[in-house]
Amino acid sequence: MAQPLDKAHFEALMAQAGLDLTEAEKDGIRAASAHTQAAAARVRTPREVSVESATIFTLKGAGA
Amino acid sequence: MTSFPTIASAARDIAAKRISPVELMKDHLARSEKLNPALHAFIRFTPEIALEQARAAEARQAAGALRGPLDGIPIAHKDIYETAGVTTTGHSRVLEHHVPKMDSAVVRRWREAGTVMLGKLATHEFAWGGPSFDLPWPPARNPWNTEYFTGGSSSGTGAAVAAGMILGGTGSDTGGSIRGPASLCGIAGIKPSYGLCSRTGVLPLSQSLDTTGPMAWTVEDCALLLDAMTGHDATDPSSANRPRPDLLSGLNGGVRGLRIGVIRHFHEDDCKVSPGMAAGIQHLTSTLAAQGAEIREVKLPPLADFNAAGWLILAADAYAVHETWMREKYRAYGEFLRERLAVAATITSADYLQAQRRRRELCEAVTAVMADCDLLVTAAQPGEARPIHQMTKWASFEVPNFTIPFNLTGQPALTVCTGFGAGGMPVGAQIVGRAFEDATVLRAGQAYELAAGWRAQRPAMAA
């Protein structure tokens, strides 16, 4: 299992999001960030350097 | 003995003038009002609309001008579907007084087909935050045991259909919100192909995963409801511009010759399901094999890989939807949703793009397997419903999810009841098809359901 975000990093993200949390809420949410950290690690599978992300889109010309 | 018509049987009786749409509506509204204090499936009844729509159906019946099999059928809508002039809240204090000016596209299509709306149904808050006890309305309860969870987020629809309050209803499915409640409540529910049904006017959770779809007691009823939902809608950018599929004429065509791949490692290794769920999957595959389907085992990437990509995308998309309200109205949300969204605020742009890149690889892996398979089968849930008070805030991340893989791929996926497990609670498995082959999925579900006989049993409280 991945580690939760460290406290300073987590608090910066919550401040950036404009969320005013209690200390107890911060503790619980930061602990749960371990789940998203684990997911973020799992999706980073080996890949070719030139691989396309999935966010390309196809232009359709006139009459398409 | 209470009778429980299906949509198909009620439609035949309405067409033959054996039953009155007004009486059918009144019977179901009375049942709903009687059971709702225990089930909390409805958060709002709309008796005036129901009476007006039922009277109009009855007039068409008398004139021999019925619009089709949904004319006069009592239904209800999940409260993320906007309804003109009727409060649509997302089961949230944030939108407690939101009264839309227009119907969502699906509500309009069902209304035009003649359905009779009894009210608005409970959901997890904005289709992700639940089961929550700190919202303006309590969470729906499972009619098979009211101490137990319904699944979510289409919780009210699952409970209301199982209890016979309505003959069908709308759900939405971003990570399994139709198929999960269908499994835990012992009904049928289909997440259609992404793009088959319009989402215009439905409160969003994740635009690249959200799918609208029907839930009903039988597969046949799901087919009838879905048939009235399909069709291109230029107001929804995800709507597929392709001809409406024929979902009905081949419904009873059987499964002979269909190649069905069982994703055994999902439910036996990646997340071992309960004995009841395992027995249900075995019953499903052996029943279809006995009818001439060819059953084989298939291998996909690990279930955890689908969950990682799926939850990162869902959570990041949801945070984007709610970002401004989270900043301005944080305490108006229930604890479960606001804290899940706060976790989502920690997902970086790189995480999100990596998840989308991985999604494409996973889609390609499934497509490769489906070159030799017409359908896939796996669990719809890890097991039977659990006590509602055992459901945790972080369950979305902690418990592997069998349904989100097919939100990632956009494929049609049906939950069909496969029996009863521990404590007499129902279980359901998924039948998954190729994109836009929803009719094949429904055909296999129909073949199983008719052979299995589970539809004879209703929750005791509904009798």
Name the token pair of B128: 């992700």
**Amino acid at site A50:** S
Instruction: Give B136 to chain A, closest Cα distance, Å.
Output: 22
Contact at 8 Å (CB) between B78 and B154?
A: yes
Residue B60: exposed, middle, or buried by beta-carbon count in 10 A (0-12, 13-18, 19+)? middle
CB atoms within 10 A of CB B338: 23
Q: Is B155 a catalytic residue?
A: no
Asked if A28 has any chain B CB less than 8 Å from its own CB, the reply is: yes
The pLDDT of residue B219: 98
- Dump pLDDT digits (tens) for B253-282: 999 999 999 999 999 999 999 999 999 999
Do B351 and A19 lie within an 8 Å CB cutoff?
no
For residue B259, give every residue at least 6 positions away whose Cβ sits within 8 Å of its Cβ, in sequence order, or none.
Answer: B293, B294, B296, B372, B373, B374, B375
ipTM for the complex?
0.94
- Give the integer Cα–Cα distance in Å for B215 and B158: 7
Contact at 8 Å (CB) between B309 and B362?
A: yes
Q: Which chain A residue lies closest to B408 (C-alpha atoms)? A: A54
β-strands B211-216, B168-173: how paired? Answer: antiparallel
**Three-state secondary structure call for residue A31:** helix
The pLDDT of residue B1: 47
Q: Could you list the pLDDT tens digit for every one of the 463 residues in chain B?
A: 468 999 999 999 999 999 999 999 999 999 999 999 999 999 999 999 999 999 999 999 999 999 999 999 999 999 999 999 999 999 999 999 999 999 999 999 999 999 999 999 999 999 999 999 999 999 999 999 999 999 999 999 999 999 999 999 999 999 999 999 999 999 999 999 999 999 999 999 999 999 999 999 999 999 999 999 999 999 999 999 999 999 999 999 999 999 999 999 999 999 999 999 999 999 999 999 999 999 999 999 999 999 999 999 999 999 999 999 999 999 999 999 999 999 999 999 999 999 999 999 999 999 999 999 999 999 999 999 999 999 999 988 888 999 999 999 999 999 999 999 999 999 999 999 999 999 999 999 999 999 999 999 999 999 8
Contact at 8 Å (CB) between B216 and B167?
A: yes
The pLDDT of residue A60: 67
Q: Phi and psi of B148, rounded to 5°?
A: -110, 160
Taking Cα atoms as reference points, which of B209, B202, B192, B159 lies closest to residue B41? B159
Asked if A49 has any chain B CB less than 8 Å from its own CB, the reply is: no
CB atoms within 10 A of CB B147: 12
Q: Which residues from chain B sit within 8 angstroms of residue A40, using beta carbons?
A: 308, 312, 347-348, 351, 354-355
CA dihedral B238, B228, B32, B96 (to 10 degrees): 30
Name the token pair of B52: 């007006």
The pLDDT of residue A64: 54
- Give the integer Cα–Cα distance in Å for B223 and B230: 11
- Give the integer Cα–Cα distance in Å for B256 and B276: 27
- Dump pLDDT digits (tens) for B135-193: 999 999 999 999 999 999 999 999 999 999 999 999 999 999 999 999 999 999 999 99
CA dihedral B39, B153, B180, B234 (to 10 degrees): 130
Q: Is the pLDDT of residue A61 over 90?
A: no
- Give the integer Cα–Cα distance in Å for B20 and B1: 20
For residue B446, give every residue at least 6 positions away whose Cβ sits within 8 Å of its Cβ, in sequence order, or none.
Answer: B219, B220, B223, B251, B252
- Give the integer Cα–Cα distance in Å for B147 and B149: 7
Contact at 8 Å (CB) between B209 and B233?
A: no
Q: Which residues from chain B sit within 8 angstroms of residue A3, using beta carbons?
A: none
Q: Look-up: residue for tokens 């071992």?
A: B272
How would you list the strands of the sheet with B426-433, edge to edge? B42-45, B116-121, B74-78, B168-173, B211-216, B188-191, B413-420, B426-433, B375-379, B259-262, B294-297
**Catalytically annotated residue among B20, B32, B78, B396:** B78
Asked if B367 has any chain A CB less than 8 Å from its own CB, the reply is: no
User: Which DSSP string do the residues of B73-128 spell out, in sequence order?
Assistant: -EEEEETTB-BTTB---TTSGGGTT---SS--HHHHHHHHTT-EEEEEE--SBTTT
Q: Which chain B residue lies closest to A13 (C-alpha atoms)? A: B346
H-only helix segments in A1-64: 7-17, 23-42
Of the candidates A33, A35, A43, the beta carbon closest to that of B358 is on A43
H-only helix segments in B349-455: 349-369, 395-398, 405-409, 438-452
Asked if B425 has any chain A CB less than 8 Å from its own CB, the reply is: no
Contact at 8 Å (CB) between A4 and A31?
A: yes
CB atoms within 10 A of CB B248: 15
For residue B121, give every residue at least 6 positions away whose Cβ sits within 8 Å of its Cβ, in sequence order, or none.
Answer: B41, B42, B43, B76, B77, B78, B79, B140, B154, B156, B157, B160, B169, B170
Q: Is B238 a catalytic residue?
A: no
Write down the pTM of the prediction.
Answer: 0.97
Do B351 and A54 lie within an 8 Å CB cutoff?
no
Contact at 8 Å (CB) between B57 and B71?
A: yes
Q: Is the pLDDT of residue A5 over 50?
A: yes
Asked if B38 has any chain A CB less than 8 Å from its own CB, the reply is: no
Of the candidates A13, A20, A32, the beta carbon closest to that of B330 is on A20
**Amino acid at site B188:** A
Q: Which residues from chain A sit within 8 angstroms of residue B208, using beta carbons?
A: none
- Give the integer Cα–Cα distance in Å for B281 and B405: 18
